[in-house]
Chain A
Amino acid sequence: MFAEILELLPELLRGTLMTVELTLCAAVVAITAALIAAVSKMYGPRPLRWLAIAYIEVFRGTSALVQLFWLFFVLPYFGVTLEPFAVGVVALGLNIGAYGAEVIRGSILSIDKGQWEAATALNLGRMQTLRRIILPQAFVAMIPPWGNLFIELLKGTALVSMITLGDLAFKAQQLNQNTLRTLQIFSLVLIIYLCLSLLITVLMRTLEHRVARGLLRGRAG
């Protein structure tokens, strides 16, 4: 049993590496897309606002897998051919970004109105207020929901196995066909995903403590 697991592990770890890379790259895309969409939806001029709303509704309203397939199979007809890895990063990033936009919007709205008024009184511009005063405070409130989104993202990366990308889920299916050690393979894969999820939880909790401490000290001073 133990020797078998050792045999399976190198291949699975290679898949894990791909899963981690995908998660990290897609997380960057997600945060960027979410920030742009949230700010556009709240403060953008009308056409930009509509665009942001359309983006958020379309990506939240359809399946991640459908989005992945659409980018993979349909985009080439528009003359845009992306590598499978890029498709995975863009599809997952935009999908999570749409949910993230609503998280960011919610946490910006949760900031007391007096903060805006005080910033106006101090003659700060709108964008300046947002960047210097509002977002740093909203940041603390958005960390826990973003932690959940990153776990959703990690789980979502399993989908890319369906566009032939060699992530953990893909390696699992490949090994399963080659070795038929179904129980060992899928149990191991579940455990690896669990460890990655726990890692995200721990990292986000650490970040939350750090940021909240800084904020409290700032308030006391």
Chain B
Amino acid sequence: MQLEWDWNYTLDILPVLGQASLLTLKATLLGFALAATLGLVFALLRMSRLAPVRWSATSLVEFIRSTPLLIQIFFLYYVMPEFGLTLDAMTAGILALGLHYACYCAEVYRAGLDNIPKGQWEAAIALNLSPYITFRDIIIPQAIPPLVPALGNYLVALFKETPLLSAIAVLELMQTAKILASESFQYTEPITLVGLYFLFFSLIAAALTRQLEAWLNTRHGGAR
């Protein structure tokens, strides 16, 4: 069979895919908001003075990073109801994405927090600042900006993993493309369009990250 690209069909499915891509973006943004927040919590727990807290946070992060996201999605969607927590597919998917990438973000935060010179802590103690205030006003504002490019990379990585949600029938881009394809038996157009969509956004995000990195280097380069 010869490859044929059907432009009429492409135009037909474009609005449907556009609609579905909104769900993809929603899952990405909510998932990443969760990942960025929870990641910081994990990173702080790994720095805890209590050994059991430190130890459990470390093992949890390592465990989640070492196992496939797909299985984690299944776990949240199929197993949690047995514990009385029934989630709809979209929520389970967002939670899984957020939790998975929180563990990657935690590593980024940890590296950033480790980079803050010890003198900053000592100066804050000398100024009689509480640990909370030290964190909020001294450490975090210095630690986070240099991490933005690394976090941006994980935002893109998370975005590219959203098609996994099709495994629990969330009507995001991939699932919609599959349904369209199986209705019309034309696989080339929908799946290629989905690929182009991800490529387009990833390239934009990569360019933005590079710009941001350059900007941060000029801004923070002198201070370090």
Q: In this complex, what residue of B is CB-closest to A194?
A: B66
A65, A159, A161, most chain B CB atoms within 10 A: A65
Count, A-B residue pairs, CB within 8 A: 110
A158, A176, A193, most chain B CB atoms within 10 A: A158
A171 to B127, CA, bound (A): 60
A58 to B74, CA, bound (A): 28
Min CB gap A61→B, angstroms:
4
CB distance A69 to B174 under 8 Å? yes
A162-B203 CB under 8 A given contacts A67-B195, A74-B191, A190-B67: no
Min CB gap B60→A, angstroms:
12
CB distance A58 to B199 under 8 Å? yes
Q: Does B3 contact A (CB under 8 A)?
A: yes
Q: Is the interface of A mostly helix, strand, loop or mixed?
A: helix
Q: Return the CB mask of B36-78 against A: 1 if under 8 Å, else 0.
A: 0000000000000000000000000001011111111011001
Binds B, one of A44-52, A181-189, A212-220: A181-189
A70-B75 CB under 8 A given contacts A79-B1, A162-B167: no
Q: Does B147 contact A (CB under 8 A)?
A: no
CB distance B66 to A151 under 8 Å? yes
CB distance B67 to A193 under 8 Å? yes
A60, A69, A186, A198, most chain B CB atoms within 10 A: A69
Is the interface on chain A under 10, 10 to 19, 20 to 34, or 35 or more residues? Answer: 35 or more
CB distance A74 to B192 under 8 Å? yes
Is the interface on chain B under 10, 10 to 19, 20 to 34, or 35 or more residues? Answer: 35 or more
Q: Does B134 contact A (CB under 8 A)?
A: no
Residues of B within 8 A of A64 (CB): 160
B68, B79, B167, most chain A CB atoms within 10 A: B68
Q: Does B148 contact A (CB under 8 A)?
A: no
CB distance B67 to A77 under 8 Å? no
Residues of A within 8 A of B160 (CB): 62-64
Min CB gap A205→B, angstroms:
14
- Of B74, B75, B163, which contacts A63 at CB under 8 A? B163
CB distance B71 to A197 under 8 Å? no
CB distance B161 to A63 under 8 Å? yes
A70 to B78, CA, bound (A): 28
- Of B68, B166, B194, B206, which contacts A155 at CB under 8 A? B68
CB distance B191 to A183 under 8 Å? no
A172-B71 CB under 8 A given contacts A63-B163, A66-B174: yes
Residues of A within 8 A of B191 (CB): 66, 69-70, 73-74
The 6 closest A-B pairs by CB, nearest first: A197-B66, A61-B202, A158-B68, A73-B187, A155-B68, A158-B70
Give me the interface of A with B, judged by CB distance under 8 Å: 57-58, 60-67, 69-70, 73-74, 76-79, 151, 154-159, 161-162, 169, 172-173, 176, 182-183, 186-187, 189-190, 193-194, 197-198
Give me the interface of B with A, judged by CB distance under 8 Å: 1-4, 63, 65-72, 74-75, 78-79, 82, 160-164, 166-167, 174, 178, 181, 187-188, 191-192, 194-195, 198-199, 202-203, 206
Given known contacts A78-B3, A190-B67, A194-B66, what 17 new A-B pairs fall within 8 Å (CB)? Answer: A61-B199, A61-B203, A62-B195, A65-B164, A66-B163, A69-B191, A73-B187, A74-B192, A77-B188, A79-B1, A155-B69, A158-B69, A158-B70, A159-B70, A187-B75, A193-B67, A198-B66
